[in-house]
Structure 1
Amino acid sequence: MHFTFTSPLWEWDARAAWYFVSVPEEESADIREIPRMPSGFGAVKVRATVGSSTWDTSVFPDSSEGVYILPMKKAVRLAEGIEDGDPVTVHLELLDL
């Protein structure tokens, strides 16, 4: 299953230099509804693509917002020239379904 969305990059208040992109509510709801084996912290394995950068990671549920969040590696942010607050277009492929 694939999703494409655009959301702003944001820095996590609890840990400086940790950056995320929030998966929009509709896509998060779709991800939640897909049956799969339970995993730690409710994480879902994904392959993410931003610009020309592709990497395997997980999205994690953010209970305060009710959506999933995608960690954005520093190498990807640098390679793609993305800074805090910039809109980021993400292509997500769910893995291990």
Structure 2
Amino acid sequence: MEWEFTAELIPWRGPAPYVFAPLPADISHDVRDAARGFMYWGQVPVVATIGDTEFETAMWPKDGRFLLPIKVAVQRAEQIDVGDVITATLLLRGERA
């Protein structure tokens, strides 16, 4: 299953090589249900795409929804930073056809 969402990028505490895209609550709920066999320590392994950049990462829960971490290499490739609004697609890692 694939999900698409739009989010404003947020920082983490202090300097970090990641910014985060908070998933909407409804999509977080759908991901949680679909990821039952994929989750580990509350994290969900995904393949994400932002613009032309595809990357693998693991989302984790915070305040009832998931956060998608976006590393510096993706930020640079897509010229995005905190406060920017992005559109991302997600696929559970291991479900790629």
Task: Name the TM-score class by shorter chain.
Answer: 0.7 to 0.9
Distance in 2, Cα, partners of 1:30 & 1:8: 20
Name the counterpart of 1:92: 90
Structure 1 length-normalised TM = 0.87
Seen in structure 2, the aligned counterparts of structure 1 residues 38 and 53 have a Cα distance that, compared at 3 Å, is: closer
Distance in 2, Cα, partners of 1:93 & 1:69: 14
Distance in 2, Cα, partners of 1:83 & 1:96: 28
Return structure 1 stretches of 4+ with deviation > 4 angstroms: none
1:29-75: per-residue Cα shift (whole Å, max 9, x none)?
011122315512x111100000011011111111xx21000110101
Name the counterpart of 2:71: 73
Is the partner of 1:31 in helix, strand or coil?
helix
Distance in 2, Cα, partners of 1:54 & 1:8: 19
Amino acid at match of 1:16: P
Distance in 2, Cα, partners of 1:37 & 1:93: 12
Is the partner of 1:11 in helix, strand or coil?
coil
Distance in 1, Cα, partners of 2:29 & 2:71: 24
- Say which of 80, 83, 88 aligns to 1:82: 80
Identity of aligned residues (%): 35
Seen in structure 2, the aligned counterparts of structure 1 residues 49 and 37 have a Cα distance that, compared at 3 Å, is: closer
Name the counterpart of 1:51: 51
Q: Alignment RMSD, CA only?
A: 1.4
**Alpha-carbon shift at residue 94 of structure 1 (Å):** 0.9
Is the partner of 2:9 in helix, strand or coil?
strand
Distance in 2, Cα, partners of 1:38 & 1:54: 20
Amino acid at match of 1:96: G
